[in-house]
Amino acid sequence: MTLANLLSEDQVIPEMKSTERWAAITELVDVLLARERIAVVDRQEVIDALYAREHTMSTGIGFGIAIPHTSSEKISEVVCAFGRSLSGIEFGSLDHAPVRFVVLFIVPKDQFQAHLRTLAAIAKFLNDRGVRERLATAEGGREILEVFGSPVR
């Protein structure tokens, strides 16, 4: 699985407006809402679930990466959105550094293995410094999506 399978160009924000984690999460949920990946009536429930997960422990894992995630009975397949912030987002990360790359995903409630596989794939992919450098210099959503479609070296 490549992350490009979970994303489309219109699910990528090349420069996020948000400067802090709660707004960033909402900004990415709204992308999924606009692309009809989640229903309007489910928006607040999804945001609440993501916020609850963040309150347990920040999903800012270090190296400028955050992976907010949750499960929901309101969806039938994994949905994902990506946002980049060249100036950085205060995310309460484990290394206390600003986040530049946010991958938000939601999996169906009963798909625990898919949840773990998706989280592991995202973390492994973004752990590669070369990937992060290419994401930082990509011009626009199409180039960002191309990075997600490329194999890790």
Name residue, tokens 């993501």.
50
Instruction: Tell me which residue of 147, 149, 34, 151 sits closest to 84, measured CA to CA.
Output: 147
Q: What residues contact 86, with CB distance under 8 A and at least 6 apart?
A: 15, 100, 136
User: pLDDT tens for residues 26-56?
Assistant: 999 999 999 999 999 999 999 999 999 999 9
69 is an active site residue: yes
Selecting among 55, 69, 96, 115, the annotated active-site residue is 69
User: pLDDT tens for residues 112-123?
Assistant: 888 888 888 888
C-beta of residue 110 within 8 angstroms of C-beta of residue 146: no
Domain CATH code at residue 53 = 3.40.930.10
pLDDT confidence tier of residue 141, bands split at 50, 70 and 90: very high
pLDDT confidence tier of residue 152, bands split at 50, 70 and 90: low
| pTM recorded for the entire structure | 0.92
Domain enclosing residue 92, as ranges: 3-149
Q: Which of the pair, 150 or 127, is modelled with greater confidence?
A: 127
Report the domain count for the chain: 1
pLDDT confidence tier of residue 111, bands split at 50, 70 and 90: confident
